[in-house]
Structure 1
Amino acid sequence: MKCISVYTNNFEVFSDIYEQVLSSPPEENEEVVIEGMTVSGSGDVPDQYIERMRQKLEVVVMKDKERNITILQHGNVFEICLPEEEDAAL
């Protein structure tokens, strides 16, 4: 599962750039700035990562059901987790 980190704690700002991040995601270990927000290609995370994060009280879990994308929000970061088949479709 590919993970992209967006460094903000503001949901409105995140939702404004969400589609732009998905249309041109950064490569692994690459950082780009989109509308003043740092976006980083965090590489691959194991499938159980989402389940571990889901159990933490400080983590908000959102789902883009259309594209089977999971979004985790904790602290000052949103993590967009893309399943491998979604990764190829982008």
Structure 2
Amino acid sequence: MGVPFEALIPYGIMLGMFGITGAGLSKLRHMQNGGKRARHSLDQWDRVMMDRDRRLTGFLRGQTDNSAAPLGFELNNPWRVCFHNLLYMF
């Protein structure tokens, strides 16, 4: 006795939706990385360099071959100051 194909339609829809969602998330991650492949197992050095690249170019994965930093980069300090840290100083 065969299985009625109507019983398999919901499973096909669910499988299709999982495939569409996975492809959409993959494309979104690809676009967020500036068209480059995603990076895995980043250490602190990689994060610092990616933050530097973001401050230089405006993109997290962007890189530049310009030897001179753009105007305003000297004022673009990566150190963050929190208000509660200032209270402990005084």
Answer whether TM exceeds 0.5 for this pair.
no
Rg comparison, structure with higher value: 2
Give the TM-score normalised by the residue count of structure 2. 0.23
More helix by share: 2
Give the TM-score normalised by the residue count of structure 1. 0.23
- Higher relative contact order (CA closer than 8 Å, sequence separation 6+): 1
More strand by share: 1
